[in-house]
A and B are shown apart, each in its own frame.
Chain A
């Protein structure tokens, strides 16, 4: 079965794809931290910040439609949080945009700021994941000092999440093929529990076999990989440009902030 992988554009070739994963990771981390720390009234500044990830997506040849589709997939969680803001904070505020101004509540301001920050930081994250192979990202994280055990866990998660999704699809299909009438909530719940149990048992079996495959190839507890990362001039140039953009914009707009 073919999945719409989150990293399906990571195997393309572009100047952004060729950048070192460590540099890209640190830039996205700093960018996210700065965007999150912007005050709640800085909606127009968020739009300026959105230029950064958009540029990366365009240079990385990542379709914007794909990026927004990914954002939509995870948006329900944030939407619930954002849309609850106008309900509990109804303090009136006046918003001005050039010669135009109108009255709204602080809750709505918060709501749009949360959504704006979510979209901008998600765009940055998608631009990182879509222009960096997961294996390179893991190697980069390892080089940056993340614990080896965490790297191994992330590697296994990435490798087997699709196998698990496939299995879940097969089980659901097998059930759908034999579901001829509605059995009622209680019975359906029981079936769902059995399906989950079956998935868990199979996962344990898979883990045992992977352990055999690892031991069969000499694994004795210590993890060895060949690192292929190196910082080049283009990486330094990218890091400098990103720093100039992130902090320059912040310093430029800071006096304008209320």
Chain B
């Protein structure tokens, strides 16, 4: 069985020449929960965009065994769902129902199947009663959950989340952790919040200045306070006490 994600020596420069990613080599197994940690500007978001085929650099990116190219793009985007940093960018339809149905409809599913998928996705994120609401009527926490529902309705095998805990209060953050903890998909979570990463990830990849600095067991990497401080991060407050609570 091919790996969920396989990246070989991937590099990417912004149009102004700034190096965003340099020599990234990374492989992720199916079912893994990987935290992509690093300071602001480390290249986390760009790497997630590269995984979904939105930035084209040098090197190889394979998703579920398929190399990213125009021929495979549609298939890749069905198996890999990208959740953007700002839910307002992800929720662009007039109602939540239409937003969650957008992906399944583009997949060519029939109306009944789409309705079932929308109902299941909204049920999973706890927004079943809000289907007819307009996105601007939702709270920040609900918008985040709704953004995840737009991905879940497409039933992808891999989900990438860019700073999913951003601008959430502790209660909403905990709700999000509970929601993500029960998902069976391969999760790639880009975050600079180590408590959030520690609560969900079994593996961590530390990224700084476009390069992979460390790759290994989440607990081990994130508890190395010297390494964390050196790269503008901080060790999670209680790395061990988070895990049993949510997983």
The residues of A with any CB-CB pair to B shorter than 8 Å are 3, 5, 11, 133-135, 138, 155-156, 158-160, 162-163, 206, 209-210, 212-220, 224-226
Q: Give bound CA distance, A155 to B103, whole Å.
A: 17
Does the CB pair A133–B74 fall under 8 Å? no
**B103 surroundings in chain A (CB, below 8 A):** 217-218
**B150 surroundings in chain A (CB, below 8 A):** 217
Q: Give bound CA distance, A231 to B179, whole Å.
A: 40
Instruction: Assess whether B94 is interfacial by the CB under 8 Å rule.
Output: yes
Does the CB pair B95–A212 fall under 8 Å? no
Q: Is the interface of A mostly helix, strand, loop or mixed?
A: helix
Closest 4 CB pairs of A and B: A218-B106, A217-B103, A135-B94, A224-B105
Partner of B106, one of A160, A162, A220: A220
How many chain B residues touch A (CB < 8 A): the figure is 38
Q: Give bound CA distance, A214 to B52, whole Å.
A: 12
Q: Give bound CA distance, A179 to B34, whole Å.
A: 46
Q: Digit string of B217-244 for contact with A (CB within 8 Å is 1, else 0)?
A: 0000000000000000000000000000
**B92 surroundings in chain A (CB, below 8 A):** 155-156, 159-160, 210, 213-214
Residue of B nearest to A222 (CB): B106
Partner of B154, one of A5, A156, A209, A217: A217
Partner of A209, one of B84, B97, B102: B84
Q: Give bound CA distance, A160 to B90, whole Å.
A: 12
Does the CB pair B89–A135 fall under 8 Å? no
Partner of B49, one of A159, A162, A212: A212
**B101 surroundings in chain A (CB, below 8 A):** 225-226
Does the CB pair B136–A163 fall under 8 Å? yes
Instruction: Assess whether B88 is interfacial by the CB under 8 Å rule.
Output: yes
